[in-house]
Amino acid sequence: MHKVPGLFIIVLMLIVASCTSQPEDCKTLLSEKTNVSNILNNREEFAGKIKRVITCEYNDTEIDVLLSGDGMIIDYLFTLFEEMERQSESDIAVSYSEIKQLIDEVMDSEEAGVGESIAEAYSEIMDRYAELATWDEDIKLLKEMNFTEYDIDFIKLIIERSGDSKITYEQVFNILNSYYNTNNIMECPMPSYYDRLHLPHGLDGYFHLGEGLECSKISNRPALVYFTGHTSLNSREFEHSVMSDSEVLKLLSQKYVIIELFVDDKSKVLPEHYICYDNKSDTARHLGEINKMIQEKVFNSNVQPALYIMGSNNTVYGEPYFYDLSIDNFKKFLTNGLDNYYSKIEE
């Protein structure tokens, strides 16, 4: 799971008085002089004035680029002035007209050109309905927006999971942004096999035990290890009747790293995921046989569904949860698992 590209979602900042600023006000501001120490000591005031300069002097697309990423251009200016202050023995005077020239240099850069292309593509696609019928056309705009192949695959998966519900690309981007901004999850490894497997109800997680436990360690969340099968009717019933509950989904998405392990999947695994059988020369090369072996030898079980709460230290917290369609019982299992996990960490 990767960090969202810096210019992924164009954030339209709320700019104080930007709609009422008159050209004369802008001219007055551009002629105003200040100094580096005053800028660094009054950052909020400076940021407000820079936003006014930007909204007065640049077009809508340029404004989107300059004020995206929660004000990256302002952070850039602060970094520049901090360096100027370190290198100079005296305070440096500067006018807002000169600061605008610095911003112009940024806008002439190759990176700004990329940002403008992203902003234009975003403007064109954001109000569209996200539909597979127009996917071939939409994917071109997504690539112009600098989405990675992984991002694009995930966007397509969001659209597929929306079913008959019509959602706009703006809603899709909000879902993707929420996914990436989940606490520490963005630093976790990208899940293998995500292109062929998925969790129910739009949940995100892993399909390989080691990768999921690594994410558990990074995010400081317990892992919910879920043994299931493509042909397990009990698993489908459990997912439909229990995992679909809104409070359950909130717990799963916000508090756990989910690891879904199919014991009957025929997919070949990556070579680094091969497992050798004990006292045998045979090597497990398919996802299902590896997960089945893990469940039998590590968890001493062979039924599905079977759910275990684990930590990255391979500790299992509490008793497993087997086929039980009580929503209350499953919520209790999850909340007790959180208590057990974090109480052990604090010891």
pLDDT tens figures, 74-132: 878 888 888 888 888 788 999 999 989 888 887 777 665 666 677 778 778 888 899 99
Q: What average pLDDT does this structure show over 57-70?
A: 72
Residue 272 and residue 195 in contact, taking contact as beta carbons nearer than 8 Å:
no
Burial group, residue 215, by CB count within 10 angstroms (0-12, 13-18, 19+):
buried
Burial group, residue 299, by CB count within 10 angstroms (0-12, 13-18, 19+):
middle
Supply the pTM of this predicted model. Answer: 0.50
**Helix H segments across 58-134?**
60-66, 72-87, 96-107, 110-125
Kindly list the domain boundaries of the chain, sorted by start residue: 23-118, 205-346
pLDDT tens figures, 299-347: 999 999 999 999 888 889 999 999 999 999 999 999 999 888 887 654 4
Is domain 205-346 classified as CATH 3.40.30.10?
Answer: yes
Q: What average pLDDT does this structure show over 156-167?
A: 79
